[in-house]
Amino acid sequence: MHQVANQKIIVVEDEADILEVLEFNLAQDGFDVVCSQEGEKGLELVQQEKPDLVLLDLMLPDLNGLEICRRLKSDAATQDIPIMMVTAKGKESDIVLGLGLGADDYITKPFNVGELIARVKAVLRRAAAAREGAPAKRIVCQGIAIDADKHEVLVDGQLAELTVTEFRLLHALASAPGRVFTRDQLMEQAMGDEVIVLDRNIDVHIGSVRKKLGRYRDLVETVWGVGYRFREQDD
C-alpha cells in the first residue's frame, strides 16, 4: 500500500520539559518530530533534513534562535522552510517582530498546546498555498480590475476605497474563481500574521466588499452553510 509521508517538524528548544511536551503532542497529531536542545545542532538538522516546519526557541545557550532564523532565511536552500518562533512574553516577541527576520509566526510561552498545533497547521497550509503558485498580480473581471501590486481596485475605472482586510478578501476570492472558501480560510487570508478576527466579522467585511463593488456585487457569491466564492466566468 502506498503510504503518504508524514510532515516533518524540527523542534529546537533547550528546556527538556517543554521539548517533551512539544514532541509528544506533535507526534500524536501525526507529525514526524526531530528534536534538538542545541542551536548549532538544530541548524544543522534543518539544513540536512529540510523539514516542513521549524519550531524555534528564541533563547538557546549556544546559537540563539534569531541567528538561526536569520541564517535559514538568508540561504536559498532553506529560506522557504516556515519558521515558528517560540518566545517569552513581551520583550522577546517584540524583538522578533521588530527585527522582521522573516519568521512565519511566533507564539509566546507559556503556550496552550492546542493553540500551538493549530497555528503550526495554519502556517503549513499557508506555505502549501504559496507553493501552489502566487496569485496573479492583476485580475480583471467584467468592470472590475484588481491590482495586487498597487493594492487597488477599480470599479468601472473608478478607484474603490477598500480597507486592507477587504482588499485581501476580494483578492483571495478573485484569484480562484469558483473555489469555495470557508470563513476560516478567508480569515487566514485576511489576517496575514496578525491577530484573530472573529468569525462573524468575515460576513461584515464581505458585505462591505460587495457594497463597494456596486453593480458587480453579485460576483461575490454566498455558499450557504460553507462560505463564499467568486463567480466563475462563462466567457
Site residues, Ca ion (CB under 5 A)? 14, 57, 59
Shortest spacing between CB 164 and Ca ion, in angstroms: 34
Rg of the chain over all Cα atoms, to the nearest angstrom: 20
Calpha distance 13→188 (Å, rounded):
27
Shortest spacing between CB 55 and Ca ion, in angstroms: 12
Shortest spacing between CB 192 and Ca ion, in angstroms: 27
Q: Between residues 16 and 99, which has the closer beta carbon with respect to Ca ion?
A: 16
Note whether 212 and 144 are within 8 A (CB). no
Q: Between residues 92 and 166, which has the closer beta carbon with respect to Ca ion?
A: 92
Shortest spacing between CB 59 and Ca ion, in angstroms: 4
Nearest to 170 by CA among 216, 118, 119, 116: 216
Q: Which residue is nearest to Ca ion (CB)?
A: 59
Q: Between residues 43 and 206, which has the closer beta carbon with respect to Ca ion?
A: 43
Q: Between residues 9 and 60, which has the closer beta carbon with respect to Ca ion?
A: 60
Q: Which three cell numbers stand for residue 135?
A: 496569485
Q: Between residues 59 and 117, which has the closer beta carbon with respect to Ca ion?
A: 59
Shortest spacing between CB 206 and Ca ion, in angstroms: 42
Distances (CA, A) of 37 to 27, 62, 83, 139: 17, 10, 17, 47
Note whether 138 and 154 are within 8 A (CB). no
Adjacent-strand bridge partners of 133? none
Q: Is the dihedral of CA 75, 79, 85, 90 positive or negative?
A: positive
